[in-house]
Structures are given as structure tokens and as C-alpha cells.
Amino acid sequence: MAKFPDYKDIYVFVEQKNGEPAEVGYELISEARKLVSTIPNMDYKVVGVLLGDNVKDKAEEVIAHGADKVIIVDDPLLKDYSTQFYADALTQIIKEFKPDSFLTGATVLGRDLAPRVAARINAGLTADATKIDIDQDKVADGEALLLVTRPTFGGNLFGTIVCPDTRPQMATIRPKVFDMAPIDETRTGEIIEFKPEWESTTPQVEIMETVAKALEGVDITKANILVGVGRGAEHSIETIKECAKELGGEVCATRAVVEDGFMDKDVQVGQTGKTVRPSLYIACGISGAVQHVAGMEKSDMIIAINRDPEAEIFKIANMGFVGNVDEVLPLLVEEIKKAKAA
Amino acid sequence: MNILVCIKQVPESNKVEVDPVTGVIKRDGAASKMNPYDLYALETAFRIQEKMGGVVDVISMGPPQAQEVIREAFAMGADHGILVSDRSFGGADVLATSYTLSQGIKSSGNYDLILCGKQTIDGDTAQVGAEIAEWLQIPSVNNVLEIKEVHDDSITISMDLPQEVEVAKISLPCLLSVDQDIFMPRLPSYVKKKATKDREIKVLSLKDMEDTDASHYGLNGSPTQVQRIFPPTSSKEKEMWDGSSAVLADQLFHKIEELKFV
Ligand SMILES: Cc1cc2nc3c(=O)[nH]c(=O)nc-3n(C[C@H](O)[C@H](O)[C@@H](O)COP(=O)(O)OP(=O)(O)OC[C@H]3O[C@@H](n4cnc5c(N)ncnc54)[C@H](O)[C@@H]3O)c2cc1C
Ligand SMILES: Cc1cc2nc3c(=O)[nH]c(=O)nc-3n(C[C@H](O)[C@H](O)[C@H](O)COP(=O)(O)OP(=O)(O)OC[C@H]3O[C@@H](n4cnc5c(N)ncnc54)[C@H](O)[C@@H]3O)c2cc1C
């Protein structure tokens, strides 16, 4: 006898802004498809949940990305994100439809919404995960137990979290860790419109003003990708800027480069500069002095290019390329451009 | 205005190691300190207190040893300290931690504002604040960058969103999780430390709670379980590439693509 006979299927929250679904929702739907395919005997469906105002026309798109079913709440109260109304709607959906698991992107929105909902329904919530599997040993007992893996201790350790005794199993998952499957316009699925009952329609949080962030004066500490310029790359600064732009990242520098007058002090990384922690740090012509390394060693992935195979930077890099920055970088930029054009 | 700041005791460094055989975290020496992100929450509380008056209290859930971080908060200027501590609270995940803290808060008084740090450096979930607010049925806002205005019944803040900064007015009582750098935290003062050395810390155990059902706390009240802990496998494994510039550029491109940065 299954432990939770009433709970079924993998649900994915499809986050949207101005009616446009964020990619992470589709990445999670694609991954959920893979997960349900590992448990064919349980006949699990992938269900997308879409909240917003005038979002009905997006339901087909959610199905084309891999959902079998879409639950929609279309209400003017949900036009812009609010913790209160989104949590109210989502809680009612979960109580009504009883998902076995519920996945949300670990975005600013997802990490605000999911804990409110989890506490309201007494569910376990795994935070900011990077990997999901189904425990195949439990499938025979009729259980689709998720094994959710996440970094903790600032990325120095990983933990695999399970939620064996309560349902749904909730998790927030980082964007970009899963591939988005190609769209299949021929897919069909069920679309259900759900009407929540609002506890109150008076907002507790009143938005006074929304200011777009200035694009100038970039804050390198917030960049997801950084390309670092060292003294060995001073002749390639323009190419490096182009490379960073193509990758959607920013440029930073060592103190040597700042002192030589090639870059501004506010992009200096290190002991007397800023501490950065991007997902990717590409160190170009940087020797790897401790004062520089102190500011960037926590980056998730460090790639170093240096022509000296003994350079200190290779000791902390995950990937090292022994070569000439002035030659390698222009070729790299060309390849990235080609790939993006394709 | 009465403010309560949630502070957690965490290991001195997050560079922890796992015993490869037992899978248990090695806590040699086990030096600990206040979660660095909570210092920003404390400083925010002091700044508001300077304008509005009232008290700044701190609450921490943990073993008796967590009194140390409460004493540290006293040395920075906090007025009263509450330690939520009981054997049955051990092994709590976010749900049980936030429930226990909310019970502790309910039995400690009426606060207009509750402040939390952005996240901890050990569990690192950044979920506890929002869940406390849910248990207390009050609004909450994360990523608070700036306190703009404080009134007796509302607070206006700005919050950091991916593409914009939003200014919002929230009715009190509410809970805010503040970003790093909202204010530069002050240093503990030696004079205050001495003056508060004998100040009583209120200890709340299970019997002091409104809900005394032990199954709602600690390991029993925690839906999530850490099944396994392990160090990152690949990050320190190094790949080195050598060759002509064309080969290197090609390899580099493929690696960046493989990691989904293109
Ligand atoms: C490897 C590992 C992985 C884990 N993964 C999960 C998981 O995915 N889901 C889950 O539910 N639990 C998880 N836990 C358990 C969880 O991390 C903690 O046990 C929980 O008590 C606190 O969560 P946090 O440290 O992440 O706090 P956060 O949510 O990061 O803390 C935010 C703020 O809340 C306040 N706060 C937090 N804890 C306390 C406290 N004890 N006293 C006072 N104030 C506090 C502070 O102001 C802090 O800045 C995990 C534990 C480990 C060891
Ligand atoms: C108190 C103090 C504080 C400091 N704070 C900071 C700080 O905050 N940040 C900081 O960055 N530094 C800081 N420094 C300076 C630091 O010690 C180093 O001097 C500096 O980081 C070196 O910069 P670099 O790697 O760009 O230059 P270099 O050390 O000159 O290294 C250049 C590297 O480029 C390689 N190279 C040369 N040409 C090429 C090519 N064509 N292709 C590929 N590789 C090539 C070389 O092999 C070499 O490894 C500090 C120093 C002190 C004393």
C-alpha cells in the first residue's frame, strides 16, 4: 500500500513577469518529464501551475514545453507578484489537487513564495537545489521519493535532502542547472482554470515605486559571469570586454591593471578591492597573487588562461589553459558569436 | 517601537570537512560566532531604535552555548536576550526552526518589527525568516536594501529585485530579512560588554511554549531530513589544457558551452 495514495504527480510553478514565463519554469518541466519517465509504472504526470493576469494564452506554451496539464489562475490581483495573493492561490491549488511534489525556481520570487506556502501547509522545503533524482528503491512501495541535492556551507558541502513523511515534497531549484527540452507544438494537454477564494483583497504590502536599475556603474559583486583582466591581458582589454558582453557578464581586474590606469578601481577584485562570487570567473593573464585570489576564490567555476604553466592561478582554477591570451581570446569571441548566431 | 532580531550561532568558518567514512561533519575545535548576516539585521534595529525609541531584543534558538551570541548582541547594544533551548528542539529543519522561533516570539511579548539576516553561512537556506512570518501571520519582505521611513504603524523600505529596486510600504507588525551592506555593523563595545556581563538571558524551553506538543518540534517536527552530506567532487579536480591557440580557444569554448554559459 502506497504511503500517500491521494498525492500524485510532479507540479512545477511557472513563474512569469508581464505575462512572459521565465525560462526556469520550462527547465523544471523538462527535468520533471525525465523524472516521471524513470517511474513509468506509476503513471505520473507533469503539471504546470501558472498564476497571473491575462495569462490564459500561455497555457498552450506550457504544454508545448512538456506539461501534461496546466492549472491556471487568471486574476487581476495576480498581475504583479505579491507574496500574499500568490501564496493564497498556490496554497489552495495544493490543497485541492494534492501534488506529490512541487518544484519552484530558486529565483528571488520563488525563494519568497515557496517558504510562505510550505509553512502554511506544513510541508518540507529543500532550498536552492542543483540536482533531483527519484529514489528507485522506493518505487516498488508506490513511493516517488525525491532525492534533492543542494550546496550548503557556502558551497563547501553538498547535502541530499529527503522528505519521506509529508506531502507535497517541495523544493526550490536553481535556474540554469537543467536543460530546456525543445518545444513540441504538437503536444496536447488538459487546461484547468482554478478560482481561488481570497481571504482578503487588501494588500498588506503596498508598492510605492519601482525603479529600474541603472545599467551604468556595474556592480561586479552581483555579476553571474566575470572575465578578469590581469597585467598579461592588458593588450586585449577590448576583446575581453566583448567576450564578457557576449557571455552576458562583466569585466573586472587585478590591482596591477588598475594601477596601470587601464581599468577603474571599482572593478578591482581582491583584498583591497571587491570580493566576488560569480558562477564563472575567467582569469586572463592573472598571476594569482594571494591578494587577488582572496577576492575571487569562492567563484563556483574558475577558468584561467596564462602562458606560464607554473602560474599560481592554476592552483585554484578548476580548468587551466596554458596559452597566450592575446591569441586565444579573439578566437573564443568568434566562436561564441558563431554559436549565438546559429 | 519594539524590535526583535533573530540571531543564529554558526561555525567560525564554513570551510568544513566531512569524514569520508561516517559522512559526519568534522567540527574540530568547533569555534563558533554569530551568523555574519545577522549583524546587519542587528545594526538595522539599532538605527531604527535611535530614531524611534523602544527596545531592541534578540532571540536565538540553539544549545545553551548559543548564549554567547546573545552576549555579543548585548555588547553591541541589545536590550534583552531570549534563548530558545530544549533537548526536544534539536535536529530541526526550517519548518521546525521557524515554528519554534515563532512560538518563542509569541511567549516573549509584542514586537512591532522582527528582523532577520539574509541567510546563514551553515544551513544557508534563506527560508527561516519567511516561514516565521507565516507562522505569526504577518507580512514579510526579503532582500531589504534600505529603510526609508518608519512610522508607528508602517515601515517603508526598498528591496532588491533582479532588474529593479522596489519601494514598498508595509503595515506593522512585519518581518524583514535585510541584505548585507544595508548598514555597516558596529563593533561590540568593551564597556557595554562589561556592563551587561550579568544581564539575565531568558531561557524558553518546551514547557514555556503555547504549544507544548513535542512532536511539533525538533527532529520529530521536521519534514526534511539530510540523507547524506558530501564534499563537492569535481570542483577541486583540475583539468589542464595545452596546445595551439586555435585548439585552446576551441576547448575553452566547448567547456563554456558545456557549462551552459553560452
Ligand atoms: C547540509 C544541510 C542541508 C540542509 N538543507 C535543508 C533544506 O533544504 N531544507 C530545510 O528545511 N532544512 C535544511 N537544513 C536544516 C536547516 O539548515 C537548519 O537546521 C535550520 O534550523 C535553519 O536554517 P538556515 O540555517 O538555513 O537558516 P536561514 O533560513 O538561512 O536563516 C535566515 C535567518 O533566519 C534567522 N535564523 C535562522 N536560524 C535561526 C536560529 N536558530 N535562531 C535564531 N534565528 C535564526 C537568522 O536571522 C538568519 O539570518 C539543512 C541542514 C544541513 C546541515
Ligand atoms: C597590501 C596589498 C594589497 C593588494 N591588494 C590587491 C587586490 O586587492 N587585488 C589585486 O588584484 N592585487 C592586489 N595586490 C597586488 C598583488 O600582490 C599582485 O601584485 C597583483 O594581483 C598582480 O596582478 P596581475 O596578476 O595582473 O599581474 P602579474 O603578477 O604581473 O601577472 C601577470 C600574469 O600574466 C601572465 N601573462 C603575461 N602575458 C601573457 C599573455 N600574453 N597571455 C597569457 N598570460 C600572460 C604572466 O605569466 C603572469 O602570470 C595587493 C598587494 C599588496 C601588497
Chain-wide mean pLDDT for chain B?
92
* Residue B94 grid coordinates: 526550517
pLDDT for the residue numbered B17: 73
Chain-wide mean pLDDT for chain A?
94
pLDDT for the residue numbered B16: 73
Gap between the Cα atoms of B57 and B48, Å rounded: 13
The structural domains of chain A, ordered by start, are 8-193 (3.40.50.620), 220-341 (3.40.50.1220)
pLDDT for the residue numbered B234: 47
What would the mean pLDDT of A277-287 be, rounded to a whole number?
A: 95
Of A102-116, A270-284, B15-29, give the lowest mean pLDDT range: B15-29
* Residue B25 grid coordinates: 561533519
Residue A215 has pLDDT above 60, yes or no: no
Give pLDDT tens digits for B52-104: 999 999 999 999 999 999 999 999 999 999 999 999 999 999 999 999 999 99
Burial of B197 (0-12, 13-18, 19+ CB in 10 A): exposed
Assign B262 a pLDDT band (cuts: 50, 70, 90): confident
Residue A145 has pLDDT above 50, yes or no: yes
- Measuring CA to CA, which residue among A110, A95, A204 is closest to residue B136? A204
ipTM of the prediction greater than 0.95, yes or no = no
Give pLDDT tens digits for B158-185: 998 877 899 999 999 999 999 987 999 9
Residues 30-89 of chain B whose Cβ lies under 8 A from any Cβ of chain A: none
Taking the alpha carbons of A172, A174, A178, A183 in that order, is the dihedral positive or negative? positive
Q: Does A221 touch chain B (CB under 8 A)?
A: no
pLDDT for the residue numbered A217: 65
Q: Which atom of ligand 2 is nearest to the CA of A256?
A: 23
Considering CB atoms only, which of B232, B249, B262 is closest to A339? B262
Gap between the Cα atoms of A284 and B236, Å rounded: 20
- What angle, 0 to 180 degrees and rounded to 10, lies between the N-to-C axes of helices B128-136 and B94-106? 50
Assign A221 a pLDDT band (cuts: 50, 70, 90): confident
C-alpha separations of B72 from A17, A261, B5 in Å: 43, 43, 13
* Residue A48 grid coordinates: 504546470
The structural domains of chain B, ordered by start, are 3-221 (3.40.50.620)
Gap between the Cα atoms of A149 and A25, Å rounded: 19
- Measuring CA to CA, which residue among A243, A245, A248 is closest to residue A283? A243
* Letter string b/e over residues A243-269, b meaning 16 or more CB atoms within 10 A of that residue's CB: bbebbebbbbbbbbbbeeeebeeebbb
What would the mean pLDDT of A248-273 be, rounded to a whole number?
A: 92
Residue B233 has pLDDT above 80, yes or no: no
Residues contacting A255, CB < 8 A, separation 6+: A268, A270, A272, A273, A291, A292
What would the mean pLDDT of A251-272 be, rounded to a whole number?
A: 92
What would the mean pLDDT of A295-319 be, rounded to a whole number?
A: 93
pLDDT for the residue numbered A342: 82
Assign B29 a pLDDT band (cuts: 50, 70, 90): low
Q: Does A175 touch chain B (CB under 8 A)?
A: no
Peptide bond into A168 cis (omega under 30): yes
What would the mean pLDDT of A318-337 be, rounded to a whole number?
A: 96
Give residue A93's Cα distance to chain centre.
24
Q: What is the DSSP letter of A342?
A: -
Q: Does A133 touch chain B (CB under 8 A)?
A: no
pLDDT for the residue numbered B235: 46
pLDDT for the residue numbered B246: 93
pLDDT for the residue numbered A214: 65
Q: Does B190 touch chain A (CB under 8 A)?
A: no
Assign B236 a pLDDT band (cuts: 50, 70, 90): low
Binding site listing of A for FAD: 231, 254-255, 268-272, 285-292, 306
Binding site listing of A: 231, 254-255, 268-272, 285-292, 306
Chain B's closest residue to A161, CA to CA, is B226
Gap between the Cα atoms of B168 and B187, Å rounded: 30
Burial of B207 (0-12, 13-18, 19+ CB in 10 A): exposed
What would the mean pLDDT of B21-25 be, rounded to a whole number?
A: 69
Give pLDDT tens digits for A19-75: 999 999 999 999 999 999 999 999 999 999 999 999 999 999 999 999 999 999 999
pLDDT for the residue numbered A294: 84
Of A143-157, A250-264, B91-105, B210-224, give the lowest mean pLDDT range: A143-157
pLDDT for the residue numbered B167: 97
Whether residues B164 and A212 touch (CB distance < 8 A) is answered with yes
Residues 85-114 of chain B whose Cβ lies under 8 A from any Cβ of chain A: 93-95, 98-99
Residue B8 has pLDDT above 70, yes or no: yes
